[in-house]
């Protein structure tokens, strides 16, 4: 299954971050790559004709923090599900991504975020994560009997005030955004910018399925952990994915010696 990726001319390895490279944590900004995946990423980044990219629902600023990413990095970033990009030096001529909706609703975002924060304040453990193009509603720390309540109340707010915003559901989070890009858009943009002839994409959540379903016959989608998936390959854990990524790096490097 990996042979095509090993021998393709230009490989894009596009990876979700939370739950794929880093364990899910109660305080999202404290997430960091597992040591096994950090080593695998280093190996892939050193592999000829291979581009590594992180594709996340996080805002670009937060993604750079949790990925411990600096301006010297060779890793491309797609934040906010593909509404924001950061390019390494060799790709900085890539044009900026354009919104499909074309509307900047930052003012409305701030109003709705404040209203959502008032709702979350009534429910212990609930909190609102600011995002560049919207916000996320977290319930990981909410008592099970009240977890659904915070999402339902903020769903009602959004249905009344911004029914046109895109809604996404993930692990103990509901996200709302005034930009409608998905991870499929992010992967398409990264493929275009890198000239990739094949893509490996891995993710663990519902929003990652947008990217997985968009892949072609020469690409490989990988689902990390349980859940319905369109991926051709499933791995049980972050560490198991790291083993596979190290294999890709090793075999691809050896094929170019």
Q: What is the pLDDT of residue 92?
A: 81
For 150-186, write each residue's pLDDT tens digit.
999 999 999 999 999 999 998 899 999 999 999 999 9
Q: What is the pLDDT of residue 103?
A: 72
Q: What is the pLDDT of residue 100?
A: 56
For 21-43, write each residue's pLDDT tens digit.
999 998 889 999 999 999 999 99
Got the DSSP string for the chain? --HHHHH-SSEEEEE--BTTTB---SSGGG----HHHHHHHHHHHTSTTEEEEEE-SS-HHHHHHHTT--TT---EEEEGGGTEEE--GGGTTSPPP--SS----HHHHHHHHHHHHHHHHTSTT-EEEEETTEEEEE-TTS-HHHHHHHHHHHHHHHHHH-TTSEEEEETTEEEEESS---HHHHHHHHHHHHT-SEEEEEE-STTHHHHHHH--TT-EEEEESSS----SEEESSHHHHHHHHHHHHHHHHHHT-
Residue 102: pLDDT over 90: no
Q: pLDDT class for 115, splitting at 50, 70, 90?
A: very high
Residue 99: pLDDT over 60: no
Q: What is the pLDDT of residue 14?
A: 98
Would you kindly state where each structural domain of the chain is located, as residue ranges? 3-97+181-255, 106-177
Q: Average pLDDT over the chain, rounded to whole?
A: 94
Looking at the domain 3-97+181-255, which fold is it? Answer: Rossmann fold (3.40.50)
Residue 61: pLDDT over 70: yes
For 62-84, write each residue's pLDDT tens digit.
999 999 999 999 999 999 999 99
């Amino acid at each position: 299954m990996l042979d095509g990726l090993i021998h393709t001319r230009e490989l894009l390895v596009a990876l979700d971050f939370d739950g794929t490279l880093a364990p899910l944590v109660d305080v999202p900004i404290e997430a960091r790559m597992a040591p096994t995946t950090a080593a695998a990423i280093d190996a892939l980044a050193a592999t000829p004709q291979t581009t590594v990219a992180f594709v996340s629902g996080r805002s670009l600023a937060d993604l750079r923090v949790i990925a411990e990413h600096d301006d010297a990095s060779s890793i491309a970033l797609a934040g906010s599900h593909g509404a924001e990009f950061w390019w390494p030096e060799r790709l900085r001529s890539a044009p900026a991504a354009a919104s499909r909706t074309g509307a900047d609703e930052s003012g409305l975002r701030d109003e709705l975020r404040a209203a959502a924060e008032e709702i979350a304040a009534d429910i212990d453990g609930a909190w609102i994560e600011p995002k560049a193009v919207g916000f996320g509603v977290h319930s990981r720390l909410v008592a099970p009997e009240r977890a659904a309540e915070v999402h339902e109340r903020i769903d009602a707010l959004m249905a009344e005030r911004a029914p046109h915003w895109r809604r996404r559901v993930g692990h103990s989070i509901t996200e709302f955004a005034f930009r409608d890009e998905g991870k499929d858009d992010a992967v398409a943009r990264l493929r275009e910018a890198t000239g990739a002839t094949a893509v490996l994409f891995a993710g663990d959540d519902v929003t990652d399925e947008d990217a997985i379903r968009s892949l072609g016959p020469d690409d490989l989608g990988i689902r990390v952990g349980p859940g319905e998936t369109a991926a051709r390959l499933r791995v049980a854990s972050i560490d198991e994915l790291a083993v596979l990524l190290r294999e890709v790096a090793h075999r691809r490097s050896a094929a170019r010696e």
